[in-house]
């Protein structure tokens, strides 16, 4: 999946039948790539998926039989699986299962962002059910409402609102903890009242453990995904494609002494510690995706600016923007809104809704999205807002 756009955007371009087909494929792929649950229940779920898949083809197009459906889920590009085969979609570049039936990083993301039945699936389904109960608890999901796709905005809004009800300081501390420590010991969690009340953390997901152990991504510190190969070796990699590409990918091999060896497969040679599942709790997938990942650059930027001697407030005034930066003795202030993907629509939206007007607002994108600056600058043209990279902002604050 492209690091630039969320799958939610891609899925919006599909028609209703294509979405229903995608949903059925995603849940079926999750069942096929997991060993969780009893055989009968798994077969029933697969048949249900195939039924929904067939219906999505309507009367004009011939839907494949169950055997063909299950076979094609391996190694086919997602677009090829959908009725009408959407052209020029990002879905023409991603697959759900590889040729050996191993899940892709797009699969879990699609289950969370693009599936109405993802909660039924083994593995990631538990994460999705936890999120639903969390949203219900904070009043964002009516008790008997149908479970539907969850948007990143809904989740952020719900979580941040719930944290804010405990006061502004607890909000900042809780949100920062969810960014810096997406995995905690149960003991550390019990010390944070706001986080305990939110009950955002759950036991380590079975999809992210091997032999009672887990390992943290060196970049985001969240539990890496564990995929069991038929030969007993386990692929351990960050669910974030960029982190995985940058080296957060390992191979866990069982040793003769009934332990495990973690071997680096990417450029990162540092090997994270393998820790017991017992005693630890982690954020579920959606909270890692929508709270931890976008927050990483925000807290890192804060740390870098503070090191320069700037005063920085994280997430000031509710959630109007991300960082308020000043330098003592200077009148200049920066209002910074961090964007972790190049989203021109989101940027335009933000400009419209900002109660204080765009004013001196700086939109900051990570250095690796520098190529998108011209596009994003066209969006803010005519306003006083600016778009720059994190490196540019640090250099500018340093010079001021
Ligand atoms: Zn990571």
For 242-251, the pLDDT digits (tens) are 899 999 999 9
**Residue 374's Cα: distance from chain center in Å?**
26
CB 104 within 8 A of CB 97: yes
Q: Tell me how far the alpha carbon of residue 240 lies from the centroid of ligand 1, in angstroms.
A: 5
Question: What are the strands, taking DSSP E only, across 61-209?
Answer: 183-185, 202-203
> How much is the average pLDDT of 335-355?
74
Does the pLDDT at position 27 exceed 90?
yes
Q: How far is CA 18 from CA 22, 30, 163, 229, 396, in A?
A: 6, 18, 37, 31, 47
pLDDT digits 0-9 by tens, 356-376:
554 578 999 999 889 989 988
CB 175 within 8 A of CB 160: yes
Question: Rg of the chain over CA atoms, in angstroms?
Answer: 22
Q: Does residue 311 or residue 35 have the better pLDDT? A: 311
Q: Does residue 4 or residue 340 have the better pLDDT? A: 340
Q: Tell me how far the alpha carbon of residue 386 lies from the centroid of ligand 1, in angstroms.
A: 29
What's the whole-number average pLDDT of the chain? 87
Q: Tell me how far the alpha carbon of residue 286 lies from the centroid of ligand 1, in angstroms.
A: 14
What pLDDT is stored for residue 153 in this prediction?
76
The backbone torsions φ and ψ at residue 140, rounded to the nearest 5 degrees and listed phi first, read -100, 0
Q: Tell me how far the alpha carbon of residue 210 lies from the centroid of ligand 1, in angstroms.
A: 18
What pLDDT is stored for residue 318 in this prediction?
67
Q: Tell me how far the alpha carbon of residue 219 lies from the centroid of ligand 1, in angstroms.
A: 5
pLDDT digits 0-9 by tens, 271-303:
999 999 999 999 999 899 989 998 999 999 999
Split at pLDDT 50, 70, 90, the class of 1 is very low
What pLDDT is stored for residue 141 in this prediction?
66
Q: Tell me how far the alpha carbon of residue 292 lies from the centroid of ligand 1, in angstroms.
A: 10
Q: Which of 371, 367, 209, 375 is nearest to 301 (CA)?
A: 367
> How much is the average pLDDT of 163-178?
89
Does the pLDDT at position 2 exceed 60?
no
Does the pLDDT at position 306 exceed 60?
yes
Q: Tell me how far the alpha carbon of residue 299 lies from the centroid of ligand 1, in angstroms.
A: 15
pLDDT digits 0-9 by tens, 94-118:
999 999 899 988 898 888 888 888 8
> Using CA atoms, how far apart are residues 53 and 64, in angstroms rounded to an integer?
9
Q: Does residue 213 or residue 131 have the better pLDDT? A: 213
Does the pLDDT at position 7 exceed 70?
no
């Amino acid at each position: 999946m492209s690091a630039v756009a969320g799958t939610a955007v891609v899925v919006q371009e599909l028609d209703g039948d294509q979405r229903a087909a995608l949903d059925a494929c995603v849940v079926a792929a999750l069942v096929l790539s997991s060993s969780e649950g009893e055989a009968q229940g798994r077969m029933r779920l697969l048949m249900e998926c195939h039924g929904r898949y067939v219906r999505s083809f309507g009367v004009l197009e011939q839907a494949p039989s169950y055997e063909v459906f299950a076979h094609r889920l391996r190694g086919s590009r997602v677009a090829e699986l959908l009725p009408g085969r959407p052209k020029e979609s990002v879905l023409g570049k991603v697959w759900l299962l590889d040729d050996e039936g191993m899940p892709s990083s797009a699969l879990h993301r699609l289950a969370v962002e693009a599936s109405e039945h993802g909660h039924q699936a083994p593995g990631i389904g538990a994460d999705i059910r936890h999120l639903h109960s969390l949203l219900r608890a904070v009043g964002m999901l009516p008790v008997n409402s149908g479970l539907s796709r969850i948007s990143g905005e809904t989740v952020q809004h719900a979580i941040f609102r719930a944290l804010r009800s405990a006061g502004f300081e607890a909000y900042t501390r809780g949100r920062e903890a969810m960014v810096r420590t997406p995995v905690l010991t149960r003991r550390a969690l019990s010390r944070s009242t706001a986080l305990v009340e939110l009950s955002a953390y759950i036991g380590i997901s079975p999809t992210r453990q091997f032999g009672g152990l887990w390992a943290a991504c060196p970049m985001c510190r969240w539990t890496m995904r564990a995929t069991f190969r038929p030969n007993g070796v386990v692929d351990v990699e960050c669910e974030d494609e960029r982190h995985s590409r940058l080296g957060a990918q390992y191979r866990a091999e069982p040793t003769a002494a009934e332990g495990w060896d973690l071997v680096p497969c990417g450029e990162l040679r540092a090997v994270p510690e393998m820790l017991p599942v017992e005693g630890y709790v982690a954020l579920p997938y959606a909270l890692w995706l929508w709270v931890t990942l976008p927050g990483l650059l925000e807290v890192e930027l804060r740390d870098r600016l503070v090191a320069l001697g700037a005063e920085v407030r994280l997430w000031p005034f509710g959630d109007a923007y991300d960082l308020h930066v000043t330098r003592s003795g200077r009148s200049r202030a920066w209002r910074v809104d961090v964007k972790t993907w190049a989203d021109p629509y989101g940027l335009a939206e933000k400009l419209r809704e900002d109660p204080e007007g765009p004013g001196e607002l700086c939109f900051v994108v990570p250095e690796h999205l520098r190529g998108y600056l011209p596009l994003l600058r066209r969006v803010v043209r005519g306003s006083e807002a600016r778009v720059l990279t994190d490196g540019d902002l640090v250099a500018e604050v340093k010079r001021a």
